[in-house]
Amino acid sequence: MYVFIITTVVVGFACAGVVMLLFRLWGRKASKYVIPFVAAIGMFAYMIWDEYSWFDRYAGRLPGQIDIVQTFADENPFAPWTLISAPINRFTAIDREKVVANPDNPGHKRVTTLLLKKGAETLALTHLVDCNGGTRGYITAQTALDGNGFPIGIEEWFTMDENDPLRSVCD
């Protein structure tokens, strides 16, 4: 977050500096409002660019075994351009190399999902997916595990609908 703020201010100063330099080269004096206006436009343009390019930049840095299974785009009434085309500001990813099938019950798979959001810490959640039953449950620190590292009992199961991104681990 601090990097974003510092970068935005630097872009504003850079835009103002370029305009000041151009006016000097032309031998003219800039009006009082031109320099702050250009700095504000530059910072505003940078903020919009950062908002819309965050997902592509972040997804491009992920290792090859990480699959993005779901994206979320949020509209914001305080940023009216997002009502036309909302930027992707969070997504869910799965590390394919860390999907583990239960040796005692191959229909049960343990998977860790990564929840990434712009400007927030990455969250990792571990799920047990029952591919045969179409359900999933959370594995927490309090969940009792067997010798293979799979839960002995999950307290609460959730039904996965047809579009649930965790269904992709069953393929």
pLDDT band at 16 (very low <50, low <70, confident <90, very high): very high
Mean pLDDT over 140-149 rounds to: 81
Looking at the predicted structure, is the pLDDT value of residue 8 above 80? Answer: yes
Instruction: Report the alpha-carbon distance of residue 38 to residue 36 in Å, rounded.
Output: 6
Could you give the residue range(s) of every CATH 2.40.128 domain in the chain?
66-170
Query: Into which CATH architecture does domain 66-170 fall?
Result: Beta Barrel (2.40)
Distances (CA, A) of 167 to 70, 78, 80, 106, 153: 12, 36, 35, 15, 21
25-84 per-position pLDDT tens digit: 998 888 889 999 999 999 999 999 999 999 999 999 999 899 999 999 989 899 888 899
Query: For all residues of the chain together, what is the average pLDDT?
Result: 90
pLDDT band at 157 (very low <50, low <70, confident <90, very high): confident
Mean pLDDT over 138-154 rounds to: 81
Instruction: Report the alpha-carbon distance of residue 102 to residue 110 in Å, rounded.
Output: 8
Mean pLDDT over 12-30 rounds to: 92
pLDDT for 60 equals 92
